[in-house]
Amino acid sequence: GSHTQLEDTAPRIVEHPSDVLVSKGEPATLSCKAEGRPAPVVEWYKDGERVETDREDPRSHRTLLPGGSLFFLRILHGRRGKPDEGVYVCVARNYLGEATSRNASLEVAGE
């Protein structure tokens, strides 16, 4: 057929996050890169709950990078809670569907 190159395509994850071990207070990045047309919107989930980034809360210590990776300015970890520790997945969506990355665990070292 006379298919053009510009067909819309469902998202696919081309770079998956990998497990990270981070020291408390250090920065960390969880990689995620998705392709699709139209360009998919990437969201992150931790232990099944959506992760808020500086897009929702400008004071957040978590930034969604343009490519879809999740960047932590510093890993928060207190006696009372470990808000950043957990299992993360990134989900890329467009109107044709969604793709979910494999699980990546973020652990805080040295406690």
Q: What percent of the chain has pLDDT over 90?
A: 82
Beta bridge partners of 41: 93
Band (pLDDT 50/70/90 cuts) for residue 69 is: very high
Q: Mapping DSSP to helix (H, G, I), strand (E, B) and coil, where does residue 91 land?
A: strand
Beta bridge partners of 20: 106
Q: Regarding predicted confidence, which is higher, 73 or 78?
A: 73
Instruction: Report domain extents, the chain.
Output: 7-106
Which top CATH class is 7-106? mainly beta
pTM of the model: 0.89
Q: Kindly tell me if the per-residue pLDDT of 50 is higher than 70.
A: yes
Q: What percent of the chain has pLDDT over 70?
A: 95
Q: Which two tokens stand for residue 93?
A: 């969506």
DSSP 22-52: EETT--EEE--EEEEESPPEEEEEETTEEPP
